[in-house]
Structure 1
Amino acid sequence: MNKYTKIAAIAAVTLIAASSSAYAVVPSASAKSVPAYQKNLHKKGTLTVGLEGTYSPYSYRDKSGKLTGFEVDLSKAVAKKLGLKVKFTQTKFDSLVAGLDSRKYDVVYNNMGKTKERTKKYTFAKPYIYTKTVMITKAGSDIKTAADLKGKKSAQSASSNFGQAAKKAGTNVVSVPGFAEAIDLVNSGKADVTLNSQDSWGVYKKAHPETKLKAKTTKVLDNTSSSPMLNKKDKALAKKITKAQKQLAKDGTLSDLSEKYFDSDLTKKP
């Protein structure tokens, strides 16, 4: 090897080494670390929310067809705090839980109560609504207390807290997809009663001042709360959502949304 060939060979090896070194030190954009709470998201950079979309005032379609409601606005505010976009997936109540199992969405915002059975398989963020349970019947009904529920026909979403409570109280549960259908069955006499939250009843009564239905609070189910419900593996995301909701409570957003949709602040634990 002559002098010039040797110099060229050394230069080539040096250049290759330098290039390899540079490649090893400079990370690519795709190599940037993803926060733990975002690793299991259904869609990158997006908080996908499962809800019914037919349960006013929590989530429903307004006259123009736009999805709106307390939980819709709340989940938008939470996503913003997390630096994420938001996407909504509507489904019937009895399918909401299964959707978490198959990861169709990241979190359910749908007036979900925290129960012993659910906490075995799912994780929950901090509650955002606290309310009482009422028995809704026709005027003149002989259902006055929880003891009177035994043997009666109760229109309920079977897998809901209210449906489980009605079953334990001895009612014959007539399964319905949502609150509106339950009210229809009571109105038509095909069901004697439906159990639901005091806030939902208040909103319904305000929208239907002509209603002949009556509601009475009951202890068949203790004061209930609603929480974001997530897959058991998403504890990091649940903590972030809890933190976001605490920030929204502190800056007054949570109370303002409650006043907007319920005409009262139901965000404080009694």
Structure 2
Amino acid sequence: MNKYTKIAAIAAVSLTVASVGAYTAIPSTSAKSTPAYQKNLHKKGTLTIGLEGTYSPYSYRDKSGKLTGFEVDLSKAVAKKLNLKHEFTQTKFDSLVAGLGANKYDVVYNNMGKNKEREKHYTFASPYLYTKTVMITKPDSDIKSAADLKGKRSAQSASSNFGQAAKKAGTKIVSVPGFAEAIDLINSGKADVTLNSQDSWGVYKKAHPETKLKAKTTKLLDNTSASPMVNKKDKALAKKITKAQKELKKDGTMSKLSEKYFGSDLTKKP
């Protein structure tokens, strides 16, 4: 090998080594990046769901203590569609919104309706349930229509849409943590009325056939809907949840769950 041939050979080897080094230094582009909807999850690989757990038939504990209900089963199915595990965090209704804002969970599934104030700070996925509003009273009550609510004592979760509607109608709000407590106050005479969903009343009446309370529909919140609620920054998650629910509606899962827990299909928009 002459001088020039030797120099050329050394240069070729150096170029090859440099090329290999340059190639191996570049990160692999084949590795999957974290999907946008998973980037802000409370726990990696898990959809953490905020709910009451005391609001039958939406979410409640059965006789064995197991958490069950329409929203429990639906949110489990949604998490599965998103390739995520599921985890539930229980809290009182009036703490649900604050807990979401504090990132204690990723989404609220708790018969949550849209209103202007919530939409300023949170994002909603598509509705999964539609129902009417009823005024629940004692049988001898003089409340016959929404016009009769003014000045009456209404047992409500103050931050709920029902509570806001009752306040707007001129009632004096008697704050309660949930539906069961509201019913107790009416039975005891400490409240005159409570506004809630027709489906919740139907389930209560079925479980308590001895009740003498009565319910009248009202247009104060006619045809209300329930939607999953997430933080503003989680628009990608809201879109994925909407897509998952559409798939569950198409394959009949949502209808079956509604029939199971409510005795009718409330997943169709009136």
Regarding TM over 0.5, the answer is yes
Q: Secondary structure at the match of 1:211?
A: coil
Cα distance in 2 for residues equivalent to 1:235 and 1:16: 45
2:82 aligned partner, one-letter code: L
Tell me the residue number matched to 1:50: 50
Tell me the residue number matched to 1:111: 111
Alignment coverage as a number of residue pairs: 264
Q: Where do residues 1-270 of structure 1 align in structure 2 (5 Å cutoff)?
A: 18-19=20-21, 21-26=23-28, 32-270=32-270
Cα distance in 2 for residues equivalent to 1:28 and 1:248: 31
Cα deviations by residue, 1:200-248 (Å, 9 ceiling, x for unpaired): 0000000000011111111122210000011011111101101110111
The alpha-carbon deviation at position 14 of structure 1 amounts to 6.5
1:60 aligned partner, one-letter code: Y
Sequence identity (%): 82
Q: Secondary structure at the match of 1:144?
A: coil
Cα distance in 1 for residues equivalent to 2:49 and 2:136: 30
Q: Secondary structure at the match of 1:135?
A: strand
The alpha-carbon deviation at position 24 of structure 1 amounts to 2.1
1:58 aligned partner, one-letter code: Y
Cα distance in 2 for residues equivalent to 1:62 and 1:15: 68
When normalised by structure 2's length, the TM-score is 0.92
The alpha-carbon deviation at position 20 of structure 1 amounts to 5.4
Q: Secondary structure at the match of 1:22?
A: helix
The alpha-carbon deviation at position 117 of structure 1 amounts to 1.5
Cα distance in 1 for residues equivalent to 2:221 and 2:196: 10
CA gap 1:260/1:16 in 2 versus in 1, 3 angstroms: same
Q: Structure 2: state its 5+ residue gaps.
A: none
Cα deviations by residue, 1:77-128 (Å, 9 ceiling, x for unpaired): 1111111111101111111111111111111000000111211111100001
Q: Secondary structure at the match of 1:205?
A: helix
Cα distance in 2 for residues equivalent to 1:28 and 1:90: 40
Cα deviations by residue, 1:241-263 (Å, 9 ceiling, x for unpaired): 01110111100000000000000
Cα deviations by residue, 1:127-186 (Å, 9 ceiling, x for unpaired): 011000000011111111001111111000000000000000110000000001001101
Q: Secondary structure at the match of 2:264?
A: coil
**RMSD in angstroms over aligned alpha carbons?**
1.9
Cα distance in 1 for residues equivalent to 2:232 and 2:27: 37
Cα distance in 1 for residues equivalent to 2:206 and 2:30: 57
